[in-house]
Structure 1
Amino acid sequence: MKGILLAIIGGAFITLQGVANSQISSDIGTWQAATITQFTGFIVALFVLLLIKDKKLAEVKKVNPIYLLSGALGAFVIFCNVTSIHIIGVTFSISVLLIAQLSLTFIIDSRGWFGVKKLTISPSQFIGIGMMIIGVIVLGS
């Protein structure tokens, strides 16, 4: 239950962040919005890290270096999200984003990429994604 609640909160924050970034980008530009978002996110994460006094950061050398670049993906996530919100609106943008995210996670899970446990994807899960795609098509038309 805790995982579902956190996913709901995270999803709400993604939407709120997208709307806020869209407004920032209207005023000063998309890459400027991405910069501000990444910087304020860094400050908050650093503050929380210092507050909880977790010493695991010293073990960063154990992490595969390619994974350390994942934060850079955030800049492109913000750019794409903000630009799509300007073009197709918040609801359609977030819906398409979630379908893309879910589709890629199914591929990652079914292939066991990036060190995740390989899972068997059932036909009902494919039907569920298909229904979501149909819903997004109906929503966008």
Structure 2
Amino acid sequence: MLAGILLALIAGSFVALQNIFNSKVNQHTGSWSTTTLVLGMGFIASLIISLIVEGKGTFALQNMQPWYWISGMIGVGVVICLVQGVKLLGPTFAISIVMTSQLAFALLWDSMGWLGLEKVPFNFNQFLGVLVIVGGIIVFKFGGKAKGTEAAQAPVLGRTGTQE
């Protein structure tokens, strides 16, 4: 269990780091160029590492449901939405919303047993946990600002380096 927790923490740090890099790339190109670059580089890195680690097993895809293949297309939606979310909301706020959404939808899919998942009973404590996280995001975003003392927001620069 400790290894799983450690890997999940590392994955979370990678997601946050990737979104920062993606937003920086998006400042110099468009969202679709950013998505192409991110997923293209990810494909190349995954292919090379997979060939080193798994060899020919990389291409052993029999007995896989055909609809699992859409995962890559879902990845396009993930990158596009995250790049735009970070651009519009900032990294911390956007990622906190993304993580809460992930948790809520994972809870829904688990409790319904959808997409081939083992059905996990839903309970009030799980729902309450998601609400506590949502409350934390609201406090994080809107709490602690005294009236009239809000910090000045830095202007958002577009691809051309001009303020949008």
Rounded to whole Å, the distance in 1 between the matches of 2:64 and 2:58 is 10
Q: What 5-or-longer segments of structure 1 have no aligned partner? A: none
Question: Which structure shows the higher helix fraction?
Answer: 1
- The residue identity in structure 1 corresponding to 2:92 is T
Between 52-61 and 110-119, the greater mean CA deviation after superposition: 52-61
2:39: which partner in 1?
38
SS at match of 2:35: helix
SS at match of 1:98: helix
Q: What 5-or-longer segments of structure 2 have no aligned partner? A: 143-164
| Structure 1 consecutive aligned stretches of length 4 or more whose deviation exceeds 6 Å | none
2:14: which partner in 1?
13
2:140: which partner in 1?
139
Q: TM-score by structure 2 length?
A: 0.82
Rounded to whole Å, the distance in 1 between the matches of 2:77 and 2:27 is 17
Distance 1:11 1:139, change over 3 A: same
What's the offset of the Cα at 1:11? 0.7
- Deviations 1:25-66 (Å, cap 9, x if unpaired)? 110111111100001100110011110134433431321111
SS at match of 1:110: helix
Q: TM-score by structure 1 length?
A: 0.95
**Superposed CA RMSD:** 1.1
Rounded to whole Å, the distance in 2 between the matches of 1:77 and 1:58 is 25
1:1-141 matches, within 5 Å, as: 1-141=2-142
- The residue identity in structure 2 corresponding to 1:19 is I
Between 4-13 and 50-59, the greater mean CA deviation after superposition: 50-59
Rounded to whole Å, the distance in 2 between the matches of 1:4 and 1:96 is 21
Flag the structure with larger Rg.
2
Rounded to whole Å, the distance in 2 between the matches of 1:24 and 1:57 is 30
Residue correspondences, number: 141
